[in-house]
């Protein structure tokens, strides 16, 4: 096996289970891309990874003891990932990249169908080893690939979308706590469904009283809104994605609940609603997409969030609940608190922080990989004196 040697001090990253080294952290590299053993400048063994000078991260480390990156290795990784999720039913994230020791691979399980995303050059090159291992361990009826993410473009890899293995129905039936969402895979966002908000949706449903009003902004297929409707609340879902709202419409009518739908830009819809003097909402949810991909975008995005929060607060009932999420690594809890404080000051509202929630256990947050903490949800309550 070829070797790479780290520069002095850079071995600490790998010793601390961080799975990546940049090109400028390496003292010696092989001539070609491929599987490598990683050694420190003092010649101590650190791990086994994949070296590719064309990748944004030159070495991705997959194991911290010696051994090949073969089918047997990937069977162990998938087996372990599956074992950790044994209590989660049939719909969950099976592999959460680095946090499951598999940098560059995401696998969501939707019953018998797996949806995979291959995000880096290393996992692309190792496909022949991991794909048969995944099939053997997870035994899916079919696998669908949605490798059309930004990170893949940054790696210089082409998009790859379509059936990878077995039988995949054109419409995925996603089930969550008794709700059913018929999602056409070809039209869906990301891997098809935002599994990572499941626990927050449960929390919301538990809090809702019949007759309350719930505003689900950035709703996607309205999984928050539909739960609210199931509890006897009035629910209004807002998203710019018409295909997603069509799924919500079908899901609601199949199950006999009513959800109102507004297609459009979130900010414009919130401002319109606030102007129209509609009745206040007891719950307002804001779950925007990944607005920040680089730290220098943060000031602009904070201003956008303040602009969104102002009408959201005007629409919030006295003692109502505001749910603000960020799925952007660079937009952390402190930023969410800051923008809400700014908007609350503008609107003369006093809020208390009720709870802060993070990505759920099937999207693990590894202490060693700070980027694996990506989803933050702050729940505020209006708190007049």
> Any catalytic annotation for residue 327?
yes
Dihedral (Cα; 158, 163, 166, 169), 10-degree rounding: 160
Q: Are strands 281-286 and 213-217 parallel, antiparallel or unpaired?
A: parallel
Q: Which of 39, 74, 91, 224 binds ligand SAM (CB under 6 A)?
A: 224
In whole angstroms, give the CA distance from residue 368 to residue 32.
29
Cβ 304 to ligand SAM shortest distance, Å: 9
Is 235 an interacting residue with respect to ligand SAM (CB under 6 A)?
Answer: no
Is 374 an interacting residue with respect to ligand SAM (CB under 6 A)?
Answer: no
Residue 13's CB is within 10 A of a number of other CB atoms, namely 18
Residue closer to ligand SAM (CB basis): 26 or 228: 228
Q: Which of 145, 239, 362, 382 binds ligand SAM (CB under 6 A)?
A: 239
- Site size for ligand SAM (CB under 6 A): 18
Residue closer to ligand SAM (CB basis): 55 or 372: 372
Angle, in degrees to the nearest 10, between helices 71-84 and 127-138: 40
Residue 68 sits at φ, ψ, to 5 deg, of -80, 160
Is 197 an interacting residue with respect to ligand SAM (CB under 6 A)?
Answer: yes
Which residues between 306 and 365 bind ligand SAM (CB under 6 A)?
327
Q: Catalytic residue among 183, 327, 328, 369, which?
A: 327
How far are the Cα atoms of 253, 314, 322 from residue 220, in angstroms, in the given order? 17, 23, 18
Binding region for ligand SAM (CB under 6 A) out of 164-172, 281-289, 296-304, 339-347: 281-289
Is 240 an interacting residue with respect to ligand SAM (CB under 6 A)?
Answer: yes
Q: Which of 90, 177, 265, 383 binds ligand SAM (CB under 6 A)?
A: 265
Q: Are strands 281-286 and 316-326 parallel, antiparallel or unpaired?
A: parallel
How far are the Cα atoms of 115, 194, 376 from residue 359, in angstroms, in the given order? 19, 11, 7
DSSP string, 361-374: TTS---TT-GGG--
Cβ 93 to ligand SAM shortest distance, Å: 14
In whole angstroms, give the CA distance from residue 179 to residue 241.
20
Catalytic residue annotation: 327
Site of interaction with ligand SAM (CB under 6 A):
189, 194, 197, 218-220, 223-224, 239-241, 244, 265-266, 287-289, 327
């Amino acid at each position: 096996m070829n070797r790479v040697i780290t520069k002095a001090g850079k071995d600490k990253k790998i010793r601390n289970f961080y799975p990546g080294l940049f090109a400028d952290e390496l003292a010696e590299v092989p001539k070609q891309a491929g599987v490598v053993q990683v050694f420190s400048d003092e010649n101590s063994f650190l791990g086994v990874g994949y070296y590719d000078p064309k990748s944004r991260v030159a070495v991705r480390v997959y194991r911290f003891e010696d051994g090949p990156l073969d089918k047997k290795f990937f069977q162990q990784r998938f087996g372990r990932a599956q074992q950790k999720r044994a209590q989660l039913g049939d719909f969950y994230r099976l592999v959460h990249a680095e946090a499951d020791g598999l940098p560059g691979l995401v696998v969501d399980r939707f019953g018998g169908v797996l949806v995979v995303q291959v995000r880096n050059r290393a996992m692309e090159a190792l496909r022949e080893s991991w794909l048969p291992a995944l099939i053997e361990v997870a035994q899916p009826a079919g696998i669908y690939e949605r490798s059309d993410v930004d990170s893949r473009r940054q790696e210089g890899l082409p998009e790859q979308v379509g059936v990878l293995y077995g039988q995949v129905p054109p419409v995925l039936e996603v089930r969550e706590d008794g709700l059913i969402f018929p999602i056409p895979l070809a039209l869906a966002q990301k891997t098809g469904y935002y599994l990572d908000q499941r626990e927050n949706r449960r929390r919301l449903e538990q809090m809702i009283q019949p007759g309350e009003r719930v505003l689900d902004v950035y709703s996607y297929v309205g999984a928050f809104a539909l739960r609210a409707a199931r509890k006897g609340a009035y629910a209004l879902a807002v998203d710019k994605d018409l295909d997603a709202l069509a799924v919500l419409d079908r899901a609601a009518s199949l199950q006999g609940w009513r959800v109102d739908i507004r297609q459009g830009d979130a900010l414009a819809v919130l401002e319109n609603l606030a102007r129209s003097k509609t009745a206040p909402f007891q719950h307002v949810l804001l779950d925007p997409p990944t607005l920040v991909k680089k730290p220098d975008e943060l000031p602009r995005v904070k201003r956008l969030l303040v602009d969104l929060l102002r009408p959201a607060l005007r629409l919030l009932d006295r003692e109502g609940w505001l749910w603000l999420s960020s799925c952007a690594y660079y937009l952390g809890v402190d930023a969410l608190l800051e923008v809400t404080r700014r908007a609350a000051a503008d609107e003369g509202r006093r809020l208390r922080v009720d709870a802060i929630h993070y990505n759920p256990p099937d999207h693990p947050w590894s202490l060693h990989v700070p980027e694996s903490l990506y989803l933050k949800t702050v729940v505020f309550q209006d708190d007049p004196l």
